[in-house]
Each structure stands twice: as structure tokens, then as C-alpha cells.
Amino acid sequence: MTARDGTDDLFERTFSSLKDGTRDGEGAELYERVGATLEVTESEDGVEVLESRERGFALRLFRAGRVAFAADGPAGAHNLAERGRLLLPRARARRGVRPPPRLPGEQVDRTGAPAPGPLQEGKARELLALFRSTLMASGEGAVALREATVSLGERSERLATTAGRDATWTSRAATLLATVVGRSAARRFSTRVVAVASRADELPMARLARHAVDRVLLPLSGQPLAPGKADLLLDSHVASHLVGRLAPLFFGEEEEALLLARTRRGRDPFASPCLSLVDDAAAPGGPIRTTRDGEGTPQNRTLAVDRGVPAGRLTDLSSAARREMASSGNAQRRAWSEPPTIGVTNFFVDPSPGVSPLDLLADVQRGYYAAVLLERPEVDLAANTFRLNTAGYWIEKGRAAGRVSEAAVHGRLSDLLRGVAAIGDDLKFVAGAGGGVGSPTLYVPRWKYDS
């Protein structure tokens, strides 16, 4: 037993009894998560502080392609095997389902999941003050902050399997959630700001505040965009949400059929040669920074689309086994009480072939710069359609010529992706698709706006 920093040997004891009780042909995986969250909320009602600790255990029991899942807190950890065995006969067998094995050369780490230390309430309050002051200064009296929350989290995870994997890893997260309201003489418009970073210091509070001001004031001023054809610049924040909605195309077997249909079984490109899509848990600026996925697999950089052509898949162990390849390390556990599913870490458009956004702007003779999203984007991967309700600026000869209060950018998704003629180098991430999604500014010439 090598428990440390306030944790006990419950994991060790549970796993040993699991190993001892494993029947022929049966495999098991035990997962533990120990986490702490501190949340400070400031609103017109006052200040609210939330401090919570969690600890949970999850078991996956495998037998002949079947898998059952059971989870409980520390009080019920000893019952997990029994509960898993009750469920196992009712599962359906699937190819590739097995406990995570120890990889060649992989170190065994039995240090145990350390309990997170105290989280800094002062840091959270400092970030809130910065957000509020920047928002008020940029909003010039037309913007109010209804509520803002900064949440700091830290967690340790441990996973051991009867197939030899034993790993421990830790991660952190910082989140901003805010409700901002813009007011004009006749109307109000409110929006919710969501931002995630791997550390509190990496939350760009000033930039987020200025962007929030744009999001609530742009729809209250200017004119709706007139129908016609014009160049389109999608701001990195807007494009990031769209990129996030593409992620499921690279997950499972069902979506693969869609991807094949979109590219006529690979005969057509998926996107313009400017676009490469990458998933990388270590991407600089990405809100997710972890070393292992929810099955304990070390995480890699995966190229999903290489210069417009589909090149890779995001997989967990079982989907990778069905493809006879190695897992890309994309099994995600949203909570200890949920089984792992395939998801993204930091999924983004590679900005390396990009140019400065100002250069992109200079090339626009007559066009629309979609600066903010007014509603959640609608993307139907099956029907190959999308719709972005945006606000922004009308551009003439490389300069802003007026405010646009509302413009629906919509049409065929494949037309947009293949129509991207250039990208910026200003990669930014937003929270989305269960992780971080990012894009630089995208330039699409001659896009048609009809309403």
C-alpha cells in the first residue's frame, strides 16, 4: 500500500479482492477519482462560495466481449465486483472489448491518487474582479454583469487492470461562467460566457470581458445583413464552435459512414487544403492538459484531417481494436459515475499555415466579419447543413464600414469547409464537445447570404 496525502488504501484493498475473485476468462478495471472544486460566485445578491470534495470508484468487468459497469463512493466500493457480476450476463458481446493492457515499456505507477490540496479562494476573487472591471470599462455603461463564477478544480485519478496497467495522473481546470446583459433604449440582450483553462492564470479574463461586451452590444446596434454574395471572415471564437461540432465525425463507426458519404468514399476532399484538424491533449493554449485518458492510455497528438483529407480517427481501446490499431487516447470520463466514451481533448484547426488576421482583413474588398455568435450553432452532420446566427461588421476595402446586428451564415457544411481559402494564425480555444475546441480566423470568399 502506498497511499499518501490523506488517501487510504481502499483502492489497493478493493483491487486485490477484485483480482483474487476474478474468474476464468474474466478481466477487470478499477478506476478511482479524488477531486476538489472551489467555486466563487458574485452576483447582485452577494457572494457565494462552494467547496466540494468527491471520491468515487468505478469498475468495468469484462468477459468474452461483454462489459458491465458499476460505480459507487467509498462506502460501496467493496460491493462493486458483486454488482458488476450481476449485470455482466445481460450485456451484449462486442468485438474488441477488453481491459486496458499494459503497453510495451509502460511504467507501473502505484503511488495512489493523492487528495488535492486546498484551492485558492483569493485567486478566484482576483480573477472575478479583473473580469468585472474590464467588462465595466469596455461596456461604457451599456453593459451589466448579472452573475460571474470562477471555479477552480483539481483531481487525481488512478486506474489499474487485471491485464497489468496501473497508472496515476492528476489534472487541473479553471472555469469562468458569466451572464452579461447589454441594454439599449429599446432592447436588452443577454449572453452566457463560458471559458475553460487548464490553470487559473491561463483564463484570459480581459479578452473574455471585451468579447462579452461585443456579444451583447453588437446585436443591439447596426442593421441586419442584406442578402447577396460577399466574402466571409469567421472570427476564431465563432469558427471554434463550428469545429467542435465536427468532432463526432471522427469518433465512432456510425459517423464514419457519414464521413465516407461526405467525401464520396475518399474521392472528394473533406475540407480545403488549408484545413488540418488535430486532437492534442498537450496543445499550447488548450484548456485540457492531461497525460492519460479515461482508460489510462497515454495521450497523443492525432491528426484527424490532413490538409483537407481525412487521416485519422479518435479512438478508445475497443474501437481501436476493431480497427486493428492502437488507441489514440480519447476515452473520456465525464464523471467517475459514468463509463468512458470517446471524446476530444483539445480539438482544433492547425494554425501553422495561417497568416495574420489583419492580412486576411486587408484582402476583403466587400465582405462580412462574423465576430460573435448569438445562438448555439446548428450543425446537422447527417443532412450536411449548418446555421450560425451571428453579429459582426460589414467590411469594405479591408476596413470596418458598419455594424451588423444579425446575419445568418448557413448552407451546406461541405461547401463551407471546402470553400475556406485562407486561415489566420490566431488560434483560440473555447469550451465545447466535452473538451476544448479551437480555430483561427477562417476566410471564405464569396459566400451567399439570403436572409
Partner 1 sequence: LSAAEREMAEDAEDAVRIVSGMLRRGEGGEAFRERRRATSWSAGEAGLLLPSTVEERGTAVRVRRGGESLLVARPGDGPEALREAVREASRRAGGSPFFKRRPTSRWQAPPPSVSEEEAWTAALAAALARAIPDPRGLSLSLVVSRVAVTRAVITSRDLVLCGTSTRLEATGLIGREKARRTFSFQASGPWPAAVSALETALREATRPAPSLRPESGETDVILSPSAAAVFFHEAVGHPLEAERAERASVLARVPRAAVAPAGLHVVDEPARADLPGRYVHDDEGMSGLRVPLVEDGRVVGLLTDRRTAGADSNGHGRCSDYRRPPRPRLSNLVVSLGQASFEELLGLCGNGLHVREVSGGSADPESGRFVLMVESADTIRRGRLGAAVSRFALSGDILAALNGLEADRGDSAPPATGLGICLKGGEGLAVGGAAPAVVVRGLAVRAVGA
CB of 395 to partner 1, least distance (A): 26
Minimum CB separation of residue 433 from partner 1 in Å reads: 15
Q: Contacting partner 1 (CB under 8 A), which of 7, 14, 37, 240?
A: 37
Pairwise CA distance, residues 249 & 338, whole Å: 22
| Residues in Cβ contact with 340 at an 8 Å cutoff, skipping those fewer than 6 apart | 293, 294, 295, 316, 331, 332, 333
Say whether residue 410 binds partner 1 (CB under 8 A).
yes
Query: For the chain, what's the residue count?
Result: 451
Out of 1, 2, 64, 188, the only residue in the binding site for partner 1 (CB under 8 A) is 188
Q: For the chain, how big is the Rg over CA atoms in Å?
A: 24
Contact 45, 62 (CB under 8 A): no
Residue 4 CB, nearest approach to partner 1 (Å): 19
Does residue 268 touch partner 1 according to CB under 8 A? no
Judged by CB under 8 A, which of 2, 16, 184, 190 binds partner 1?
A: 190
39 to 58: interface string for partner 1, x by CB under 8 A: -----xxxxxxxxxxxxx--
- Is residue 189 within the footprint of partner 1 (CB under 8 A)? yes
445 part of the interface to partner 1, by CB under 8 A: no
Helix (H) or strand (E) holding 317: helix 317-322
State phi, psi for 372 to the nearest 5 degrees: -140, 155
When asked if residue 73 is in the footprint of partner 1 (CB under 8 A), the reply is yes
- C-beta of residue 332 within 8 angstroms of C-beta of residue 293: yes
Q: Which stretch binds partner 1 (CB under 8 A): 67-75, 198-206, 227-235, 347-355?
A: 67-75
Closest CA to 69 of 12, 274, 61: 61
User: Which H or E run contains 242?
Assistant: helix 236-246
Residues with Cβ within 8 Å of 18's Cβ and at least 6 positions away in sequence, in order, are 28, 30, 59, 80, 81, 162
CA 269 from centre of chain = 25
Binding-site residue total for partner 1 (CB under 8 A)?
54
**Closer to partner 1 at the Cβ: 262 or 361?**
262
Binding span for partner 1 by CB under 8 A among 21-29, 195-203, 279-287, 337-345: 337-345
Binding to partner 1 (CB under 8 A): which residues in 298-327?
none
Provide, rounded to whole angstroms, the least separation between the CB of residue 332 and partner 1: 15
Distance in angstroms (rounded) separating the CA atoms of residues 360 and 243: 19
- Does 68 contact partner 1 by CB under 8 A? yes
221 binds partner 1 (CB under 8 A): no
**Residue 94: half-sphere exposure toward Cβ, Cα within 13 Å:** 17
Measure Cα distances from 348 to 8, 286, 304, 435 in Å. 40, 9, 10, 11
To the nearest whole angstrom, how small is the minimum distance from the Cβ of residue 201 to partner 1? 24
187 binds partner 1 (CB under 8 A): yes
Q: How far apart are CA 403 and CA 368, in angstroms?
A: 10
Query: Which residue stretch of 18-26, 79-87, 133-141, 199-207 sits at the interface with partner 1 (rule: CB under 8 A)?
Result: 79-87
Stretch that binds partner 1, among 19-27, 287-295, 308-316, 374-382 (CB under 8 A): 374-382
Closest CB 72 distance from partner 1, rounded Å:
5
Given 378, 396, 399, 446, the residue binding partner 1 (CB under 8 A): 378
* Residue selected from 17, 22, 65, 72 as contacting partner 1 according to rule CB under 8 A: 72
Supply the DSSP string of 258-269, one letter for each residue: HHHHHTTTTTS-
Site string for partner 1, 114-143 (x = CB under 8 A): ------------------------------
Q: How many CB atoms lie within 10 A of CB 269?
A: 18
Pairwise CA distance, residues 143 & 347, whole Å: 32
Question: Locate cell 478481466: which residue?
Answer: 27
Q: Which grid coordinates belong to 95?
A: 468485438
Residue 254 interacts with partner 1 (CB under 8 A)?
Answer: yes
Q: Which is nearer to partner 1, 192 or 399 (CB)?
A: 192
Residues 80-99 that bind partner 1 (CB under 8 A): 83, 86-87, 90-92, 94
62 binds partner 1 (CB under 8 A): no
**What per-residue string of b and e applies to 215-226 under the rule 16 or more CB within 10 Å gives b?**
bbbbbbebeebe
Residues that bind partner 1 (CB under 8 A): 37, 44-56, 67-76, 79, 83, 86-87, 90-92, 94, 144, 146, 177, 181, 187-190, 254, 337-339, 375, 378, 380-383, 385-387, 410
